Amino acid sequence: MDLFGNIAMGLGVAVQPINIGFCFIGALLGTVIGVLPGVGPTATMALLLPLTFGLPTEASIIMLAGIYYGAQYGGSTTAILLNLPGETSSVVTTLDGHQMARQGRAGAALAIAAIGSLVGGSVATLVLAAFGPLLTRAALSFSAPDYFALILFGLLVSIILAHGSLLKSVTMVVAGIALGTIGVDINTGQFRMTFGTMELAEGINFVPLAMGLFGIADILRNLENRGSGMGTVSVISSLWPSRDDIRRSWPAILRGTGLGSLLGVLPGGGATLASFASYSLEKKVAADPARFGKGAIEGVAGPETANNAAAQTSFVPLLTLGLPTNAVMALLVGAFIIQGVQPGPMMLKQQPGLFWGLIASMWIGNLMLVVINLPLIGLWVKLLRVRYEFLFPAVLLFCAIGAYSLHNSGFDILVMAVFGAVGYLLIKLGCEPTPLLLGFVLGPMLEENLRRSLMLSRGSLMTFIEHPISLTILIAFALTLVTVVRPSMRRKRDIAFAEEET
C-alpha cells in the first residue's frame, strides 16, 4: 500500500501555482453560487464548461470539483440566514440553523457549519483516498431491494424528524410522494399527471419547490408580521460559537463525518440521505431532544458535516467506476471527456497525476473554503440588519433568477410562486414542509426500486427477505416503527412536541 507516496504525488500536482489558483477560483465561485439562492452548481458548471476547453486537464477538473463542494458549503449560508435551502442537503440546516439566526446566533451557526464542513470534508477525502476501490465494491453489491429498504427507512426517519402532530407529518410525507409521481414513469414511459404539458414531463424540479415552500412562504409570513420588526433578528449576540456550543458540537461533527462518508458512496442518492440521517441521529442521541427545531447547534453541526463529507465521498463511484451519482457528477464526466479522459477504472492507471492531484486538491479546497468564509461571517450577519423592505425584493429576484436558470424557462418561476402560496398556507395550518420535501425526493426512488425489485424477482415479495442488507434494514425499520407507535413512547413524543408548539 503506497497511500502516502500517492498522496505526496497528488499534493505535488495540487500545489502547482496554476492548480492552486483554479482551486481557489472554484471554491470562491462555489461559495458565491451557494450563497445565491437557487443558482445551483449544475447551472454554473454548465455555463463554465466551455471555458474549460482551453485549460490544462488538472486545472479544469480541480476548478469544477471546487465549485461543487464549494456550493455544498455556501448553501448552508442562505439556509441559516434566510431559511432558503438551495438544495436537498441544506433543507435540514434550516430547521435549527435559521432558528439560531432568529435568536441572534447566526454567527455561531455559520462558524460551526464551516468548522464541521472542514472536518467532514477532510476526513471523507482521506476515506476516499484510502478505501475508494473497497467502497466501490460494497456500493456495487447494493441491489434494488436494499435501496428500497434504505429509502423506506429514510421516510420513517423523516416523520420522526418533524415536530407537531404525527398525523400532519404523515400527511405531508404522503403529499410529497404524490407530487413526486408527476412526470414520465420510468417503467412504462407513460406520462403521469402532466396534463399534457411538456414542462411537467420530467416532474416538478426540486429547487423551485424548496424555494417556494421555504423561502417565499417565509417572506410572505414575515411581511404579514411587519409589526414585529423585520421578522428575523434584532439583537446579534455573538459572532463566534461559545465554549458550550463547541462542547455540544464536536460529537455531532464526528458522527456526521462517519454517516456522510458512508452514505455518500451509494450511487442511488445516498448523499441526499446523509444530512437527514445525521439530523435524526443527533435528535435520537440528544439528552434533551426538545431543543431541536428551536436552535440546537448539534442540528446544524451534524447535518452540515455529513453533507460535506458525502459531497467528497460521492466522488468515489465517479473516480473508480466513472459512474456519476448525481447531475453535477454527470457534468463532471462531461468535463473529463472533453479533456480526453474517460473517468473510470482505467483513470487511476492511465492518469495517476490527475487522480491523486484531484484528491489532494480537495484538502486544499476545503481549507480555502474556511479561509474564504470565516471572515465573511461578519458580513453575512450584517446582511440581517438590512431593512426588510430592501432585503426581500433582492431575495425574490435571486430566487426568480435561480429558478429560471434551471431550464432557461419561466415555468419554474411559476412553480416557485405556486409553492410559495402553498407553503404560506401550510404555515397557517401548522404543517411542516420538511417531511413533504423528503417525501418528494424519496418517493420516486422508493417506487422505482420497489418496482425494479419485483421485476427482477418476477413478482416475489420474498426478495426483500432474501437479500441480507435489505433484511437488516427492514428489521431496523420495524424496531424503529414500534418505538414510534408504542403508546408510552408516543405520549413522551407528544409531551416533547407539545412544548414546542407553544
Partner 1 sequence: MLRFVRHAIMAALVAGVGIGMSCAHADNWPSRNVSIIVPYSAGGATDILARKIAEGLTNELGRTVIVDNRAGAGGILGTTLAANAKPDGYTLFFGQVSSHGIVPNLAASLKYDPVKSFEPIIFIASIPNILVVNKDLPVNSVDELIAYAKANPDKLNYASSGIGASTHLSGEMFKSQAGISMTHIPFPGSAQAITSVMGGQTQIMFDNMPSAYQHVLSGGLKALAVTTKNRSPAAPDIPTVAEAATKADLSKFEATSWFGLFAPAGTPAEVITRVNTSVNDLLKKPEIIKFINDGGGVTEGGTPEELAKHVTAELAKWKVVINDAGIPKQ
One of 195, 375, 408, 502 touching partner 1 (CB under 8 A): 408
55 vs 376 by CB, closer to partner 1: 55
Q: Using an 8 Å Cβ cutoff, are 81 and 384 in contact? A: yes
Nearer to partner 1, 202 or 494 (CB): 202
Whose Cβ is closer to partner 1: residue 94's or residue 325's?
Answer: 325
DSSP 64-97: HHHHHHHHHHHHHHHHHHHS--SSGGGHHHHHHH
Q: Is 192 helix (H, G, I), strand (E, B) or coil?
A: strand
Interface residue with partner 1 among 150, 335, 391, 431 (CB under 8 A) is 335
90: which residues sit within 8 A by CB, 6+ positions away? 75, 76, 78, 79, 275, 307
**Minimum gap (Å) between residue 327 Cβ and partner 1:** 7
The C-alpha atoms of residue 94 and residue 434 are separated, in whole angstroms, by 9
Q: Identify which range of 105-113, 183-191, 248-256, 491-499 contacts partner 1 by CB under 8 A.
A: 183-191
Q: How far is the CB of 402 from partner 1 (least distance, A)?
A: 16
Provide the minimum distance between the beta carbon of 38 and partner 1 in the complex, in angstroms, as a whole number.
17
- Of 83-91, 170-178, 184-192, 477-485, the segment contacting partner 1 by CB under 8 A is 184-192
Q: Which residue has the cell 435489505?
A: 470
Cα–Cα distance measured from residue 67 to residue 454, given in angstroms and rounded to the nearest whole number? 39
Which CA distances in Å does 41 have to 64, 316, 400?
A: 9, 19, 16
Contact range with partner 1 by CB under 8 A, out of 99-107, 236-244, 295-303, 343-351? 343-351
Q: Which of 141, 225 has the CB closer to partner 1?
A: 141
186 binds partner 1 (CB under 8 A): yes
Q: Least Å distance between CB 183 and partner 1?
A: 9
- Give the residue from 265, 9, 326, 235 showing the smallest Cα distance to 127: 265
Nearer to partner 1, 227 or 340 (CB): 340
- Out of 1, 287, 429, 458, the only residue in the binding site for partner 1 (CB under 8 A) is 458
Q: Among 191, 251, 471, 480, which residue sits at the site for partner 1 (rule: CB under 8 A)? A: 191
Instruction: For 373, list phi and psi in degrees, rounded to 5.
Output: -90, -35
Q: Output the nine-digit C-alpha cell for 85.
A: 435551502
Distant-in-sequence, close-in-space partners of 149: CB < 8 Å, separation ≥ 6: 464, 469, 470, 471, 473, 474, 477
What does the longest C-alpha to C-alpha distance in the chain come to? 65
Phi, psi of 199 (to 5 degrees): -65, -30
Torsion of CA 215, 216, 220, 221, to 10 degrees: -30
Which of 102, 168, 452, 493 contacts partner 1 by CB under 8 A? 452
Copy the grid coordinates of residue 295: 436552535
Query: Which C-beta is closer to partner 1: that of 190 or that of 502?
Result: 190
Q: Which of 30, 268, 270, 420 binds partner 1 (CB under 8 A)?
A: 268
Q: Are 423 and 139 in contact (CB under 8 A)?
A: no
Judged by CB under 8 A, the chain residues 89 through 148 that form the site for partner 1 are 140-144
Q: In angstroms, give the least distance from the CB of 7 to partner 1.
A: 23
Among 198, 235, 379, 429, binds partner 1 (CB under 8 A): 198
* Cβ proximity to partner 1, 225 vs 409, nearer residue: 409
Amino acid at 195: F
Nearest to partner 1 of 304, 447 (CB atom): 447
Which listed residue (101, 155, 271, 321) binds partner 1 by CB under 8 A?
A: 321
Buried b (16+ CB within 10 A) or exposed e, 102-129: bbbbbbbbbbbbbbbbbbbbbbbbbbbb
> Which position among 1, 2, 4, 50 is part of the footprint of partner 1 (CB under 8 A)?
50
Strand partners, 192: 183
Closest to partner 1 by CB, 120 vs 269, is 269
Could you list the residues that contact partner 1 (CB under 8 A)? 42, 45-46, 49-50, 53, 140-144, 184, 186-191, 198-199, 201-202, 267-268, 317, 321-324, 327, 330-335, 337-338, 340, 342, 344-346, 407-408, 448, 452, 455-456, 458
